[in-house]
Amino acid sequence: MRVAFFGGSFNPPHVAHVLAVAYALTTEEIDRVLVVPTYRHPFAKPLAPYEDRVLMCRLSMAWMPNVEVSRVEEEIGGDSKTLLTLERLASQHPDWKMRLLIGADLLAEAPRWYRFDAVSALAPPLVLGRHGATAAGAPLPILPAISSTEVRAKIAAGAWEDVGHLVPREVVALIRARGLYA
């Protein structure tokens, strides 16, 4: 089984996340995408509640065939570290051949990750180009330049008409109903 590991805070998930999953499934030699919301951010970034982020990921991506939203980082507990999560998955699923699905914008952050060399050995990166993100060796941009930071700022400013073009509609409805990011 060829599995793409797509981790992130998904705070909130936006259409570039959805497009990344769809693109990877249709162009890469993978059988499944495992979407893994961060349980607790290792760089202490404030996040919406974990339950809400898991639900937002399900609403935005789990409708696609061969996509699963995993709570593995909750099972591990503590600060999320990609290597520990991948090691857990590898021990639970020795038949999986994993790839790390990331946007080109994260290549610049790789030195800050916990043992990115070991992460790369366990799940070689599958890098998708993103408009506005430049990194050595990054492929041509195919993903729009949308960030969760931008989305949160628009929500806080009450710019709902702009948010509707950046975030799946069911996620927007959940954000509004629960008063997230206001």
Q: What is the pLDDT along the chain (182 residues), one digit of tens a residue?
A: 999 999 999 999 999 999 999 999 999 999 999 999 999 876 667 899 999 999 999 999 989 999 999 999 999 887 778 999 999 999 999 999 999 999 888 877 887 888 999 999 999 999 988 877 766 677 778 889 899 999 999 999 999 999 999 999 999 999 999 999 98
DSSP string of 121-172, one letter each residue: HHS-EEEEEETT---TTPPPEEE----HHHHHHHHHTT-HHHHTTTS-HHHH
Q: Would you state the pLDDT for residue 171?
A: 97
At 150, give phi and psi (nearest 5°).
Answer: -60, -45
- pTM beyond cutoff 0.85: yes
Q: Would you state the pLDDT for residue 43?
A: 66
Cβ neighbors of 169 (< 8 A, separation 6 or more) are none
What sign has the CA pseudo-torsion 105, 108, 112, 113? positive
The residues that bridge with 164 in the sheet, in sequence order, are none
* Topology, domain 2-144: Rossmann fold (3.40.50)
